Amino acid sequence: MQTKSKKRVGIFSLTCDEGCSIYLTEIFNRKLLEWLEKMELVYFLAMRDHREAENLDVALVEGVVTSEKDLAEIKKIREKAKVLIAMGTCAVTSQPSGQRNNFNAEQMAEIEEHLETYNFLPKALALKDAVRVDDEIMGCPIDENKFIEIFERYLN
């Protein structure tokens, strides 16, 4: 009945340990039922198989853009989302998941072949270096209070 006015939210993981979305499921322990009054979770592979990534009001994205595939995906998410929020330190700063950016020549030599085989970008990117980002939530994993404050701003 109220579905129409509910915000369509998608949660996406690029290259990372998915610690932020897992931590988000812990925040859900206290907040999910309240938020479900205001949102419809239309994309979150950890919680549903059915995938709707069209007309998103809010896209929460964790991880870094490390490969061509990640880059194509974040561009697609950007196109579909009114608001894109970078979730966690990886998405905001490219670290720690982009730790290869800080490797020395010896370390780089070891991983070169893998980078090539799997079409990695020259550097792992923070989201804002790939697309326009509307908001950011720092933390490894995301800071709980900050997440609630920022996310609720877009839900209301």
**Residue numbers of the site for other proteins (CB under 8 A)?**
13, 15-23, 25-26, 28-30, 32-33, 36, 41, 45-51, 66-67, 70, 96-97, 99-100, 103, 107, 110-111, 114, 118, 120, 140-141
Q: Minimum distance between the CB of residue 152 and other proteins, rounded to whole angstroms? A: 18
Please say which residue, 64 or 150, places its beta carbon nearer to other proteins.
64
- 72 CB contacts (<8 Å, ≥6 apart)? none
What sign results for the dihedral spanned by CA atoms 136, 3, 29, 16? Answer: negative
Residue among 45 and 83 whose Cβ is closer to other proteins: 45
Q: How far is the CB of 4 from other proteins (least distance, A)?
A: 17
CA distances from 20 to 66, 91, 128 (A): 17, 10, 18
Instruction: Provide, rounded to whole angstroms, the least separation between the CB of residue 58 and other proteins.
Output: 16
Instruction: Give me the amino acid identity at 9.
Output: V
Closest approach, Cβ 49 to other proteins, in A, equals 4
Question: Cα 146–7–77 angle (5° rounding)?
Answer: 80
How far is residue 133's CA from residue 138's CA, in Å, rounded to a whole number? 13
Question: Kindly report the CA angle at 20 between 15 and 21, in degrees rounded to 5?
Answer: 90
Question: Which is nearer to other proteins, 91 or 134 (by Cβ)?
Answer: 91
Nearer to other proteins, 134 or 148 (CB): 148
